[in-house]
Chain A
Amino acid sequence: MNQSTKTSRIVTHVFIIVFGLLMLYPVVWMVASSFKPETLIFSSPSIFSKEWTLDNYTNGWNVVRNVTFGQFFQNSFLISMIAVLANLITCSMAAYAFARLKFPLKKLWFACMLMTIMLPAHATLIPQYTIFHNLGWVNTILPLTVPKLLATDAFFIFLMVQFFRGIPRELDESAIMDGCGIYQIYTRIIMPLAVPVLITTAIFTFIWTWDDFFSQILYLNTVDTFTVPLGLRLFLDSQGESSWGSVFAMSVLSLIPITTVFFIFQRYIVEGIATTGIKG
């Protein structure tokens, strides 16, 4: 390696590091600020401080009367967990039918499923809201979870169909020889072998449901049903700029579940994005 390529390599490295740090700086600054006394947060753009405190966390946690952020976290986790389980089961069932079984109208249904991937949710929004409203489901978790039980996240079905098709059919055939039926092939052959795509589905269902502010703001209107994103929004309504410390503290907490999931399953996420084009 000659001198000039060596220098250009170092320049590239330095650029990548500096630019990356610059991008992450606001987030790091928010984390640091959440531990600073309110009065010191805007005194300098630095992340360092002469005083540290946990006050922002206790104040933010109890910002609403009678309800704590603990309740919001509980609601968010409940909705996200049901969504994950529901997507794993119902999307894989539909995908199994599309990938492995023969049945009338298969092509038509498959085309319908593909179409719904690209359809903006707004096209079905008002009637869906009317249905859930008439069922008395507004201010419950049902409008946020029942659609997942009915496999409406077609993107994951598509993802699983692609994966299931890659599982060798010889395995199905030898299972049939051993006396397995259609249902056992699904539970004993396909699902165990599909763990990578199931993990990808679980991760992204969790993240997207956790962050699904639009559906949550539509269907959850009473404070005790609020999720974490709706809880954060309360700060903007009620207290405004006066309490940025507690806003930052709760914002940091709200990012912890997603970040944790990311760092545990990093390998699956990056591979998932790279091979399937799924986005965070």
Chain B
Amino acid sequence: MKSTEALETPMIKKKSKEKRKQYIAAYVFLLPWLIGFLGLILGPMISSLYLSFTRFDLLNTPEWIGLSNFQAMFQDERWIASAKVTLTFVFIAVPTQLIAALLVAVLLNKKMAGIGFYRTTYYLPSLLGGSVAIAILWKNLFEIDGLVNQVLAYFNIQGQGWISHPDYALGTIIILATWQFGASMVIFLAGLKQIPKELYEAAAVDGGTKRQVFFRVTLPLLSPVIFFNLVIELIKSIQVFTSAFIISEGTGGPINSTLFYTLYLYQKGFTQFEMGYASAMAWVLVFILGVMTLIIFFSSKYWVHYEDGGKL
């Protein structure tokens, strides 16, 4: 637009009219989003912050109770269990998934026949994995007479009802999340292609072993992509709902072992209609996610290596 503006400098009046026209047009284009943002996001955000200090059951007017919801949370055994389940899940599932994605991406990052086919095979689970159908399949796989135990029986190992055992139920959901490493893998593959070949050639000339090359060349140069995947997976994992809901049939059992935070929030808000409490839970979730994201962002300057020094 700069060149046309320069031509028009003598016609200031016309220019300001043009400008106004552009302002109006811009807001016409922005209008749907603006209504949505104000009415469905910003407004509800403020309102849910208010509700978190109230007792609210949808039908009666909210009643202000100060910090009671937050105090109740820290004495609520089920809330504590749900926070533990979600944090355990995040701290195990996110790293395992990223490591699996990285290892397979490195294996696939070669010129070889059938690469497209392999990539599809590994990507497919992450495409399907979020569905109720796969959650149902998973539930069946790990039942006492499910496929997993049948395969174990071939090797003379006595399996058990993994889903109904409080020590193992969460594990099955972690395996389901890890199974979906394909999307991160595709992003790693794209990142690996960006690494200049000269660096590998130089490393080979210097006599670097495969392991050295991986840790000193590949990993540092891939760190921005690792950073990106880490943030995305964190946000996704902390909000897991479908698999936990289907596998535990909405209960979060056995003994709260799959009571994910969002599942408990759903129970509180929409089966017990304690919507003030549910709003308070939501804001604690936002807070924890915010803190974790900030930690990752601030730590990134120590481990994320940008070729251009990090300038945008």
Binding site for B on A (CB under 8 A): 9, 12-13, 15-17, 19-21, 23-24, 26-27, 29-30, 42, 44-45, 90-91, 93-94, 96-98, 101-104, 106, 109, 112-113, 116, 118-131, 133, 147, 149-152, 157, 169, 172-173, 176, 181-183, 186, 207, 210-211, 213-214, 217-218, 228-229, 232-233, 235-237, 241, 244, 247-248, 250-252, 254-255, 258-259, 262, 266, 269-270, 273-275, 277, 279-280
Contacts and interface: CB of A to CB of B under 8 A. Distances in A.
11 contacts: A16-B104, A20-B118, A42-B145, A113-B33, A127-B44, A150-B33, A176-B4, A232-B132, A252-B133, A273-B186, A274-B189
Contacts of A93: 29-33
Given A124-B44, A255-B128, A102 B239 contact: no
Contacts of B78: none
A112 B127 contact: no
Nearest to B239: A120
A50 to B, nearest CB: 17
Contact of A258 (B35, B127, B137): B127
A236 B51 contact: no
B245 interface: yes
Contacts of B35: 150
Interface residues of B, number: 99
A30 B137 contact: yes
A241 to B, nearest CB: 7
A30 B249 CA distance: 20
A45 B147 contact: yes
Interface string B114-157: 00001111111111101111101111110101110011001000
Contacts of B236: 279
A21 B35 CA distance: 48
B23 A104 contact: yes
A23 B179 contact: yes
B92 interface: no
Interface string B236-249: 10110110011001
A16 B136 CA distance: 27
B29 A101 contact: yes
Contacts of A169: 1
A50 B35 CA distance: 60
A96 B39 CA distance: 21
B21 interface: yes
B75 interface: no
A106 B23 CA distance: 10
Given A12-B107, A126-B275, A152 B40 contact: yes
A166 to B, nearest CB: 16
B153 to A, nearest CB: 9
A277 B187 contact: yes
A254 B32 contact: no
A250 B51 CA distance: 40
B65 interface: no
Contacts of B127: 207, 258-259, 262, 269, 280
Contacts of B123: 270, 273, 280
A244 B29 contact: no
Contact of B282 (A122, A229, A233, A236): A122
B246 A131 contact: no
B250 to A, nearest CB: 9
Nearest to A15: B107
A128 B236 CA distance: 21
Nearest to B121: A20
A211 B130 contact: yes
B279 interface: yes
Contact of B187 (A15, A27, A252, A273): A273
Interface centre among A29, A207, A210, A255 (most CB of B within 10 A): A255
Contact of A16 (B25, B107, B187): B107
Interface string B8-44: 0000000000010111011101111111110111111
B132 A279 contact: no
B147 A26 contact: yes
B122 to A, nearest CB: 6
B232 interface: yes
Closest 10 CB pairs of A and B: A150-B36, A274-B190, A127-B44, A251-B133, A103-B26, A124-B44, A94-B33, A151-B33, A101-B26, A122-B282
B265 interface: yes
Given A24-B125, A120-B285, A131-B44, A96 B279 contact: no
B246 A233 contact: yes
A125 B269 contact: yes
Given A24-B125, A26-B141, A123-B48, A214 B242 contact: yes
B32 A124 contact: no
A126 B48 contact: yes
Contact of A151 (B26, B36, B182, B187): B36
B128 A258 contact: yes
Contacts of B110: 12
Nearest to B153: A45
Contacts of A248: 137
Interface in B93-109: 104, 107-108
